[in-house]
Chain A
């Protein structure tokens, strides 16, 4: 594996002082500047590597890191699929480097691309209008909930609660709280889906919205979605679609057709997906027609062959300082254009097949089903976190662990469409090897990567978050 370069393990540590470190810092005095001394700092102390040293430093760091191109990365709910090189090239185009404050008439190309992408996303989600502004999925959630809030305020309808299933992404809860809502947690039914009776009990005059992921985080499609939509709508609430799992539905079902009023797209998951170590992503938001007036400003529209920014009449305002994560959106456009209808449908089908096939091959108990893009296995008697560490020894990235909490010792697994049968068989072999390993073997894992098991408790108990906070030892 790329990350497991033997020459960077054990013994080399003593020989190889990290280049960028407090010890390697150079201090320069700040004097004779064009500003008065009392407006400037006295000195600056930072690393000062030559370019060849810099290149070696970061190359070495990259070798101590696992990405999708290092091997399978079945991190459930994160949709870690192959990242096409060409979308990176498109996003890196020199002529895409535009300042956001240019007059509309001088950026017709950029605005035309935005408009075309808004249109594509609207078609894919079954939504009437789409904003590209939110810079991540959680920012999309915040935008969507602000839109729901603006809608109710517009109708002089005070509704203090947002209802969220217990299996939902944690961001849903945090987003609702951030927007000032009280969260009503909805317990899942015995089949892992929304419990209709519990929903009827939870939804009422106080409900601003129900936030729902479909298929949900257990990989299960909410078959009663029409009933769910009716219950929420009859009570005067809005139905919010968390797009994190949209990869499982492309071309088979659309949130708009299922009754959702607002949705976000995690374009870094569903489409071109370099996750960049945790970002940047982008979280466009789609709405049905009556809600377009609340979209963030500015919005892009076409008039007589020209494109322009404008402010929707009852806009929620802004959720990003400029127009969002533009390079990510450019990748998204390129990816959608490359695949088209047939490719998007095929990607979704293969993702679903891969999840079901892998679920079939592994020896851990996999409750519920049938699955869409992901499934949650139970490590049973084993500790899921330990099992995950042991998987590292078998050369693959482990699944998401201990979540959702509905399944004991959860191993939440999403292979995506990028894997072949061969690599899924290898992945299954890794799961099954771990399933047969002893607790002692699990507790000692991992032994192969550059770092052995890392002490998380000490990191949290005595936080050392910079060179400046490290001991001299």
Chain B
């Protein structure tokens, strides 16, 4: 093979041969590649990035070498990011290139597969919540909450700009919400919690006609299952505020249906199914009542018919989106988390309704059992809240929480430090095999 036929170029993924390049340059009347760049001399970059090209093998080795610097810990961590076992078939099917390398379904006739998968994702969320409209994926729980807050301002019949959130809210979630609230000038206020759950009388005192939205979570960031969601919903509606509930699809498989407690919007991270841990990589869930349909942010897939009268799917109500209505769009979200939604739908379907309910029940049972075992340790009280828990709970330790975390890390385990003497522990099926060793290590470090 002569040089001019070779694909050996600078980029292994720019496959034209030297002969092709020459022919194409000739066709466009250019002397060389550089002359194609219409960049004035004064702003042209003639330096180097100083990035050396590596082979595939060397790049893999480099990444492996870097990641090997991470400590090998068994993570009893949660607080919004969960490790549930993802079946191999999800990785396998989601990796099919027709899914992975496709784009937003602007030509639905050749995107029926992804559209149907997203329609199925929406349908699963509608079943889990009982609300009528689910969008097909946002970034994560925090940004979905931000979108819910701005939605509340758009749809509320009376004016008011206060968003009430629980005192026990993940700080990073609140920080994102604050950023979303900044543009429309919403104010974020915390309401108190009692023994890990909403202090309903205190919330009632804080609510006013200027409240646009009340947000509550179940399970909460501390893993507590909220028992008075119906009362919270009623309070919000008494003031014509929206009731927004934060949860996740696995918890919703078991807990009361959001529609039955008066939820107007359900947000949360759906990556608890289909993803496992990936340094906080998320999938925003956003489900709401049909009456707010035209104010929903993000993409929606709808059923229609094709010219042969067959069922067909398409992106719909795109007039809400920023490529049509620009600054009047319901949100700026464009690229979203579609492929993650595909994985979540696959995982939910793989589990099926029995599997989902069983796994959710296991979360409750495992958390209860682990709390009981830690509570038996001298110097540890767990859980500190006399409530039902889902996956995770707080423990009070005589030793400083920072010491517990550091000493457990030395033993190969990770837990959260929440306060001076509070640690949080999360358990799922992925840490089940390590539970005995974890309890033993906890006993050592709690002394």
Contact = CB atoms under 8 A, between A and B. Distances in A.
Nearest to B144: A321
A81 B81 CA distance: 32
Contacts of A290: none
Most buried by A among B127, B225, B346, B365: B127
B384 interface: no
Contacts of A276: 99-100, 102, 338-340, 342
B405 to A, nearest CB: 7
A456 interface: yes
A452 B335 contact: no
B51 A123 contact: yes
Interface string B1-30: 000000001111111110011011101101
B182 interface: yes
A377 to B, nearest CB: 15
B278 A277 contact: no
Contacts of B89: 51, 54-55
B303 interface: yes
A115 B70 CA distance: 14
Given A40-B256, A171-B332, A113 B51 contact: no
Interface residues of A, number: 200
Closest 7 CB pairs of A and B: A322-B280, A346-B10, A276-B339, A340-B53, A321-B142, A180-B183, A61-B113
A188 B385 CA distance: 62
A464 B52 CA distance: 52
29 contacts: A28-B357, A46-B353, A47-B349, A67-B99, A68-B102, A69-B97, A73-B103, A89-B60, A95-B68, A96-B67, A97-B277, A99-B279, A99-B414, A142-B332, A169-B334, A173-B326, A174-B322, A225-B40, A277-B103, A277-B118, A316-B179, A319-B179, A322-B279, A338-B12, A353-B21, A356-B36, A357-B27, A460-B319, A466-B133
Given A66-B110, A100-B279, A464-B303, A136 B333 contact: yes
Interface string B286-313: 0000000100000111111111101111
B445 interface: no
Contact of A106 (B71, B120, B353): B71
Size bracket of the B interface: 35 or more
A253 B47 CA distance: 10
A354 B56 CA distance: 26
Interface string B30-56: 100110111110111100111111111
B335 A98 contact: no
Interface in A396-423: 397-398, 400, 403, 417-422
Interface string B350-394: 101110110001001100100000000000000000001000000
B71 to A, nearest CB: 4
B336 A278 contact: yes
A455 B304 contact: yes
B331 interface: yes
Contacts of B133: 465-466
A469 B132 contact: yes
Interface stretch (A196-204, A233-241, A325-333, A431-439): A325-333
A226 interface: yes
Given A39-B255, A46-B356, A317-B178, A120 B51 contact: yes
B28 A357 contact: yes
A101 B79 contact: yes
A90 B14 CA distance: 21
A318 B80 CA distance: 16
A284 interface: no
B125 to A, nearest CB: 8
Nearest to B364: A34
B310 A13 contact: yes
A279 B335 contact: yes
Contacts of A116: 66
A67 B328 CA distance: 31
A132 B28 CA distance: 38
A319 to B, nearest CB: 6
A253 B49 contact: no
A303 interface: no
Contact of A468 (B100, B132, B318): B132
Contacts of A64: 112-113, 116
A211 B252 CA distance: 42
B142 A137 contact: no
Contacts of A175: 332
Nearest to B9: A346
Interface in A431-463: 444, 446, 449-456, 458-460, 463
A108 B332 contact: no
Given A86-B59, A392-B107, A35 B364 contact: yes
Interface string A21-47: 010011110100111101111001111
A62 B67 contact: no
A352 B93 contact: no
Given A101-B414, A251-B49, A465-B302, 11 more contacts: A99-B75, A174-B332, A337-B54, A338-B59, A343-B10, A344-B11, A350-B33, A351-B14, A451-B312, A466-B119, A469-B303
Given A44-B253, A136-B139, A342-B10, A28 B354 contact: yes
B23 A421 contact: yes
A137 B334 CA distance: 8
A165 interface: no
A138 B335 contact: yes
A203 B118 CA distance: 43
